[in-house]
Amino acid sequence: MREHLYIDGQWVAPANAERFAVYDPATEALLHQAPAASVVDVDRAVRAARRAFDEGPWSRLDGKARGGFLRAIAAGIAERRDELARLEVRDNGKPLAEALWDVDDAAGCFDFYAGLAETLDTDGEDVALPDARFRCRVVREPVGVAGQIIPWNYPLLMAAWKVAPALAAGCTAVLKPSELTPLSALELAGIAERCGLPKGVLNVLCGLGGDAGAPLGAHPGVDKLAFTGSVPTGRAIMQAAAQDIKNVSLELGGKSAFIVFDDSDVEAAVEWILFGIFWNQGQVCSATSRLLVQEAIYPRLIERLVEETRRIRIGNGLDAGVLLGPLVSQGQYDKVLQAVGQGLRDGARLLCGGRRPAQFERGWFVEPAVFVDVPEDSALWCEEIFGPVLAVRRFRDEADALRQANASRFGLAAAVMSRDAERCQRVSRALRAGIVWINCSQPTFTQAPWGGYKQSGIGRELGVWGLNNYLETKQITEYLDPAPWGWYLRD
């Protein structure tokens, strides 16, 4: 495991020589003492990224050349697939099958943006003007130095979502991974180094939020801030960005609703409900953690849902057949158990789960929980828990379902299930969310936009929208008439 920070193409010790502990969530054992960046290291990294952008070759390379580096990084990730997946399991706790999927998606993300980088090799596009004496072209240029702060739930994949489009656009980057899961981001830096990425183009700083994340957000040398994480931290990022009017994109929390109408297939609904809330231990910003079930189907669906929830195999993510690993940290474990307790005090009824499994003395394991009869004003229904906790309510008709689903300060995602295709389309348009799934939950594709309404964030990641996050639009207008303009200088 890496002992140093990656700054300006070199592995360097943190300026203050400090380290912080990283733990294995399944055993609570010390996994690594990671290097802890400080404000001094942040300044060094931003200055390196600034030089690489302003003076170095990166922003001047054509898109095809940048795409070549991105494809090499993708190949480097794929080559180390098994190793990186096992590292993710030990660092984050997720089951190995999920980690393998994440690594594949990370490689695919770099490949995808390699292709988009090549689309930037144009002279721009003409804009039709009403005056033939002028010609206008619009070109897209990289925004500059990107400060990127990512969460712990998908460590390598979230790094790819940020770094790949930034580099494709011609930006340079300073990446700050979560202090809970810093290990795969450092390995990504190692892969980039091996691919010959010019120095300063990608810098990776481990460290605590106050010591590394906050100085990165406030640094005047950063042109763009991209953050994925909680609403409170996102608010702080916006405040930091406001000081210099920085370009900012935020992907924040969610409390996504899953609406199941009574004409749905019960078995299919149960499968997608389980996937929507218990994948990655429920530590997913888009998790469909609020389930709305129409009254006629409610008893049968809840019975099957509880049966299948109790069958989910819990354990160390490296063990075969495990579908639910531990939560990422002691802090997250405590938060989830506190939310379960508060739900009970609010009058919600717990049908299963919500406690430590009896077979585990160590590790941050929580049995997947299903609550019903959840009051609409309960924190269990309103607030993001980020754990394997499902809150269920009934609804009468389509209008009632939409009212309950949209009554949230979040608007990241939502899902609707019905055999009535017209109703699915109608409901999907009425849901106030940036992502809507029909007859499924959580499928995510690099090609499609990702982001939400309301307090779920600003801007979109992935697809061409993710590339546009790191591009500025420039107008270049030329006067073509050989005769003088003649406004001030007249005969």
**pLDDT tens digit sequence for 24-68:** 999 999 999 999 999 999 999 999 999 999 998 998 899 999 999
pLDDT in tens, 151-170: 999 999 999 999 999 999 99
- Chain-centroid distance of CA 274 in Å reads 21
261 shares its domain with 248 = no
For 211, the token pair is: 């010591």
Print the domain residue range for 74: 5-253+456-476
Number of structural domains in the chain: 2
294 shares its domain with 229 = no
Closest CA to 120 of 448, 467, 461: 467
| Residue 116 resides in a domain | yes
For 367, the token pair is: 């049995």
What's this model's pTM, rounded to 2 decimal places? 0.97
Contact 200, 9 (CB under 8 A): yes
299 shares its domain with 180 = no
| Residue 264 resides in a domain | yes
52 shares its domain with 200 = yes
| Residue 486 resides in a domain | no
Q: What is the pLDDT along the chain (491 residues), one digit of tens a residue?
A: 999 999 999 999 999 999 999 999 999 999 999 999 999 999 999 999 999 999 989 988 999 999 999 999 999 999 999 999 999 999 999 999 999 999 999 999 999 999 999 999 998 999 999 999 999 999 999 999 999 999 999 999 999 999 999 999 999 999 999 999 999 999 999 999 999 999 999 999 999 999 999 999 999 999 999 999 999 999 999 999 999 999 999 999 999 999 999 999 999 999 999 999 999 999 999 999 999 999 999 999 999 999 999 999 999 999 999 999 999 999 999 999 999 999 999 999 999 999 999 999 999 999 999 999 999 999 999 999 999 999 999 999 999 999 999 999 999 999 999 999 999 999 999 999 999 999 999 999 999 999 999 999 999 999 999 999 999 999 999 999 999 888 888 76
393 shares its domain with 307 = yes
336 shares its domain with 432 = yes
- Chain-centroid distance of CA 40 in Å reads 27
Domain of 415: which CATH number? Answer: 3.40.309.10
280 shares its domain with 231 = no
| Residue 199 resides in a domain | yes
- Please compute, for residue 126, the number of CA atoms within 13 A of its CA located in the half-sphere on the CB side: 6
Closest CA to 168 of 9, 76, 58, 79: 58
198 shares its domain with 229 = yes
223 shares its domain with 321 = no
What residues act catalytically?
Answer: 251
425 shares its domain with 408 = yes
| DSSP-assigned letters across all residues of 137-150 | EEEEEE--EEEEE-
| Residue 489 resides in a domain | no
| Residue 488 resides in a domain | no
306 shares its domain with 239 = no
| Residue 448 resides in a domain | no
Domain of 125: which CATH number? Answer: 3.40.605.10
179 shares its domain with 213 = yes
| Residue 482 resides in a domain | no
